[in-house]
Amino acid sequence: METQQELNALSNGIMTSGSLFNHWQGHRRVTRRLIEIFPEEQLFEFSIGGMRSFADMVKEISGLSGIGMRGLVTGDWTSTPELDYRSGKSVVSTKAELLCLWDEITVEIDSLWPQIPYQRFHEVIQAFVEYEGYTLDIILYWIDNEVHHRAQGYVYLRALGIEPPAFWNRD
């Protein structure tokens, strides 16, 4: 990602670890509101153009965030039955369970994030054992992926005639 010259200039960094944490948790608050406002049946079944349900997208976001944060800090990238989004065999099957899992991950990010030493952001890791990249880029990808799929949830809600929460409100 950075050239050596840029790494030398990191004393002129424009973003701290704390800023990125706040940025991500702000996005997570918006995504949570989308899950909440979705009617339960449509959350798990509604689709446009053969795409996944919004619940399946949320399971992916939860898997990346939940397994990812633990992996970043502990080096252990194994999944749990709740977070196993890749097998399509997630045990989460209701909106309440999805929200409960969401809130558990939020608390886990709160507690794990400060354990990432700032140098780690510039180290190359093997995320989920198979994706090689700088830690910062990996985390930015998780956030982008969340914004991307959440925006698809916005379209689903509009198609269902439901006014979605404001995109800009991260409180």
Known binding positions for a divalent metal cation: 149
| Spatial separation of the C-alpha atoms in residues 150 and 167, rounded to whole Å | 10
Residue closer to a copy of itself by CB (options 97, 155) is 155
- Is the separation of the CB atoms in 16 and 24 below 8 Å? no
Instruction: Return the H-helix or E-strand segment holding 65.
Output: helix 54-74
Pairing outcome for strands 131-134 and 124-127: antiparallel
Interface residue with a copy of itself, options 33, 53, 108, 122 (CB under 8 A): 122
Complete DSSP assignment for 107-119 = HHHHHHGGGS-GG
- The contact mask relative to a copy of itself for 70-99 (x = CB under 8 A, - = no) is ------------------------------
- The contact mask relative to a copy of itself for 100-119 (x = CB under 8 A, - = no) is ------------------x-
The label of the residue with tokens 């700032």 reads: 118
- Using the contact rule CB under 8 A, the part of the chain among 37-45, 85-93, 94-102, 142-150 near a copy of itself is 142-150
121 makes contact with a copy of itself (CB under 8 A): yes
Instruction: Return the H-helix or E-strand segment holding 50.
Output: none
- 46's tokens: 């509604």
Positions touching a copy of itself (CB under 8 A) are 1-3, 6, 9-20, 22-23, 27, 48-51, 118, 121-122, 136, 140-141, 144-145, 147-152, 154-161, 167-168
